[in-house]
Amino acid sequence: MIKPDAVENGHIGAILDKIAGAGFKIVAMKYTQLSKREAQEFYVVHKERPFFGELVGFMTRGPIVSAVLEKENAVEDFRALIGATNPADAAEGTIRKLFATDIAENAIHGSDSDENAKIEGAFHFSGREIY
Ligand code: CMP
């Protein structure tokens, strides 16, 4: 997901360019806005965290771009491309270093395992929306 902060700040094109340039194939994509319920479901693993309410508020405040990406070693390579959760800790040239605001409004989300990538892909897309 390209998050609401990055969409608001006009970074969709630049972020997709970096993703394509890093060799990822886009197999599904949509411009959409999460409801409160959807954001609570997507981030359910964080529901006990003190920042959960803030996270849901942020993720629902405007549109996002969601996508399913394919590549050899995709999860690890995508996490390297986006950088650390906190942009202050992210390596130079990473998407979060370039486009994120802070640890909460950090521009982009990537799945942390192949298993979660399947779950998260199915959250955003039906089978016939993935090519
Ligand atoms: P993401 O990789 O999508 O996974 C969980 C999200 O919670 C994270 O990116 C941030 O948007 C948010 N987050 C993580 N840590 C904090 C924090 N300490 N305060 C506020 N939001 C956070």
What's the topology of domain 4-126? Alpha-Beta Plaits (3.30.70)
Q: Is position 109 annotated as part of the catalytic site?
A: yes
Alpha carbon distance 3, 130 (integer Å): 20
For ligand 1, what atom is nearest to the CA of residue 59?
Answer: 11
Sorted by where each begins, the domain ranges of the chain are: 4-126
Q: What is the mean pLDDT of the chain?
A: 98
What's the pLDDT at 19? 98
Please compute the mean of the pLDDT values over residues 41-45 and round it to a whole number. Answer: 97
Structure tokens at 28: 């599904």
Q: Does any ligand 1 atom lie closer than 6 A to the CB of residue 106?
A: yes
Alpha carbon distance 130, 81 (integer Å): 22
DSSP string for residues in 43-81: TGGGTTSTTHHHHHHHHTSS-EEEEEEE-TTHHHHHHHH
SS3 128: helix
Q: Does any ligand 1 atom lie closer than 6 A to the CB of residue 6?
A: no
**What are the pLDDT digits (tens) for 71-130?**
999 999 999 999 999 999 999 999 999 999 999 999 999 999 999 999 999 999 999 999
